[in-house]
Amino acid sequence: MEMLFTLFLTLLCIDTNNGAPPNNDRKTITSARKTDEYAETFRSHRLQNSDLFFFGKQPEFHIPAKNELNRRIKVRFIDSSEKLKMEQHYPFNTIKSSDFEQLEGWQPNIFIAFNDKNSSTIDTMIDDQLQSFRCFYVMPSSNGFKINWKYSHNGNLENYKRGLIIPMMPDTNVDIVYYYKIRYLDGVCEKSAEKMNDVKLVIVFENQNFWSVWDKDWSTDGTIANCGVNSSIPICYAKYLDLEQSDNISDAFMLMFGGKNVEAAAIHVTATNDKELKAELLEWKNGLHFLNSHQIIAYQFKVRKQLKKSRRIFKEVFGIAPITLSLEQNNFETGLIDSKTLARNKGPVYVILGFKNF
């Protein structure tokens, strides 16, 4: 508390006027400079979020404190051109890359990546000795989804096509439910059910297999029912359809996003041409109330040959390009699951996920 009080006095002493008489232009410049200096001071002292909340209640420091908090919850997008090395350069985890700034105070929670093909190095690029943050990989192949999730620290995040890193955020949960043949445990779902009231979005990656066909408790529908997903939340899925091929790859995952500061929406697209798609997306956008108050990310799940310009059209409407998982038409299926009836609407799906800004 003493250190916080000292810092408070230090900030009050910051003066960028240098004794010059004030005028309107100089006031504007001075205000901007002060804001920058306050932000740099907050960053250099590595304040906890609770301390930044304290400063944010003071009119003089509200904007720089809010900006620093929003910087710490910024989702980082990754594409195939990036090669990031995770290092312990500060007391918290940071990213070092030619295209990334030093992210003081930014702590990764989970890395979610899609890959369009199998990669033999995906299993060796993570150092498991030091656990720090979760890495979730979805890799479609000729015989189903290969899905890995691990903990990473000091590991190279290379050899992926696209993905994102979600940092630690207040009142935000990203949970993984994993089920696999005889390793399925009711306890997993019982634990997850505690957070189900706050779940805003579920993304399912599944492989159809012998067990899921003959015993509904082993299926995705059974898992959703057992976990207590019964509210009107979007559940999108990507499924491998070849029963014979997928019998040996019978694991599946549910990614669940939730918390007080999370909003989500999904749309099952029925458009058959670009014009219809744009109209559908515009109508959907008009009904979303959280686009301006939240940090927005987007996903697209589809099979190939479905509206080839869909990603570009989405960006025209929303201003951001969705992270796309494009699957082989003959072997995969995407769509939305009704959380109440478990009925499935097959086809392309867009997902909007919002994390509340400060």
What is the average pLDDT across 99-116? Answer: 65
> In this prediction, what percent of the chain has a pLDDT beyond 70?
55
Residue range 276-314, pLDDT digits in tens: 999 999 999 999 999 999 999 998 888 877 677 888 999
**pLDDT bucket at 223, cuts 50 / 70 / 90:** low
- Give pLDDT, residue 222: 58
Confidence class for position 228, pLDDT limits 50, 70, 90 = low
- For residues 198 and 94, which has the higher predicted lDDT (pLDDT)? 198
Please state the φ and ψ torsions of residue 73, each to the nearest 5 degrees. Answer: -110, 15
Q: Rounded to 5 degrees, what are φ and ψ at 338?
A: -70, 120
pLDDT confidence band for 28 (50 / 70 / 90):
very low
> What phi, psi does 156 have (nearest 5°)?
-85, 125
pLDDT at residue 323, rounded to an integer: 83
| Cα 36 to Cα 192: distance, rounded to the nearest angstrom | 42
* Residues 155 and 113: beta-carbon distance below 8 Å: no
Q: Compute the 3-state secondary structure of the chain and give helix, strand, coil in percent, each to the nearest 5.
A: 30, 30, 40
**What is the layout of strands, in order, in the sheet containing 349-356?**
262-268, 349-356, 294-303, 323-327
pLDDT digits (tens, 9 = 90+) for 40-75: 666 655 677 777 777 777 777 778 888 888 888 888
Given a cut of 70, whether residue 333 has pLDDT beyond it is: yes
Query: Model confidence over 265-277: pLDDT tens digits?
Result: 999 999 889 999 9
Helix or strand holding residue 27 (H, E): helix 24-44
Give the residue with greater pLDDT, 189 vs 196: 196
Residues shown for the chain: 358
Q: What is the pLDDT of residue 76?
A: 78
- Cα 161 to its chain centre, rounded Å, is 16
Residue 262 pLDDT > 90:
yes
Whether 230 shows a pLDDT value over 50: the answer reads yes
pLDDT value of residue 268: 93
- CA–CA gap between residue 333 and residue 346 (Å, rounded): 7
Residue type, position 110, single letter: I
Residue reference for tokens 């995770």: 86
Q: CB 315: neighbour CB atoms within 10 A? A: 13
Domain ranges of the chain: 2-72, 74-168, 169-358
Look at residue 180 in the predicted model and tell me its pLDDT: 52
Q: What is the reported pLDDT for 315?
A: 92
User: Which of the four pLDDT bands, split at 50, 70 and 90, describes residue 182?
Assistant: very low
**Is the pTM of the predicted complex or chain greater than 0.85?**
no
Q: Give the integer Cα–Cα distance in Å for 347 and 279.
A: 17
Q: State both tokens at 167.
A: 């940092």
